[in-house]
Amino acid sequence: MTTATAEEAKTGAKLSQLDQLKKFTIVVADTGDFETIKEFKPRDATTNPSLIYAATQKEQYFHLLDEVLTNRKNSGLSGAAQIEDIIDHLLVKFGSEILEIVPGRVSTETDARLSFDTEASINKARSLIKLYAEKGIDRERILIKIASTWEGLLAAEQLQKEGIRCNLTLMFSLVQAIRAAEAGVQLISPFVGRIYDWYKKEMKRDYAGPEDPGVQSVTEIYSYYKKFGITTEVMGASFRNTGQIRELAGCDCLTISPELMKELSESTDPIERKLDPAKATSEKIEKMKFNQKSFLYALNDNAMAYEKTGEGIRKFAADIVKLEKFVAGKL
């Protein structure tokens, strides 16, 4: 029996898997497409330069870029500084429009090329929050996405002290999650699909259900957090299929692509809650603590996490370069 039963009895209709999931997990849209967000009604949304670039290629969003270009053409900046300024305003423009649709929060990403520069990451986050404030948007509705490097975690720790909430992205291991908890970050985004991809390639086999390494990683982090009363939110991300999502039903948040939200919305098969704080607190888990040396060694010792963190930063950096070239071509 699912938690949706009482509501089904009232309406006489079976709830979709997406609506069932919303009963015990915050559903977050992983897209920059407004129409998708309106259709599936998530509470929050996440964006990144790749998603914003994809959105700017659609005719219905041309006007947003044109508006930013018009407003910033007399900024007094030129060259790389001008392009950076336009992209920051574009990211905030999309984020602001999304916040007109969702009742909760939007995640806006810092430049991945700053992943090993603590001071620059802090300054970029402050700049983005300032742009949101100029639009009258409360900082509590914004999550600043930063890569889960040692330097990124230090930046997030300082930003959280300033009341700027952070979403630690490109997370592939418990060591990164534990350091994020120590830093007091608002939310983490462990990447299910990319972990799955690595093991599938390395082990030359497929995975499904609870044996999926990506599912196991998020379950491990979730259990650790609940066991020790850590309030940082766990948001599973980067899904390859709805089976992974169903296995993590009950996680604090799950950020889901439009394609997978559509698939969930078209099925009424029952969803069972798999992650539960009550179960997690009864597990035998040892508490760990990391300084810089032990963190870097533990991350290096985990081949999958080390490789996927580096690869993710390179891919996100390439996405921002692609967006820069697109903006430069419009100037």
Please list the active-site residues. Answer: 145
Q: What's the rounded Cα separation, in Å, for the pair 124 and 38?
A: 29
Pure H helices in 276-302: 277-281, 292-301
DSSP of 44-71, one letter per residue?
Answer: EEE--HHHHHHHHTSGGGHHHHHHHHHH
User: In 67-180, where do the E strands start and end?
Assistant: 106-109, 142-147, 166-171
Distances 273 to 1, 23, 78, 212, 237 between C-alpha atoms, Å = 10, 9, 53, 17, 18
Query: Token pair of 135, please?
Result: 């639009």
Amino acid letter for position 29 = A
Q: What's the rounded Cα separation, in Å, for the pair 252 and 274?
A: 12
Q: What's the rounded Cα separation, in Å, for the pair 130 and 142?
A: 11
Q: Is 2 left (phi over 0), alpha (psi -120 to 50) or beta?
A: beta
Q: Quick one: DSSP state of residue 75? A: S
Q: What's the rounded Cα separation, in Å, for the pair 160 and 305?
A: 25
Q: What's the rounded Cα separation, in Å, for the pair 122 and 178?
A: 21
User: In the chain, where do the E strands start and end?
Assistant: 26-30, 44-46, 106-109, 142-147, 166-171, 187-190, 233-236, 253-256
300 alpha-carbon distance from chain centroid? 23
For residue 107, the cross-strand partners are 46, 143
Number of C-beta neighbours around residue 76 at 10 A = 8
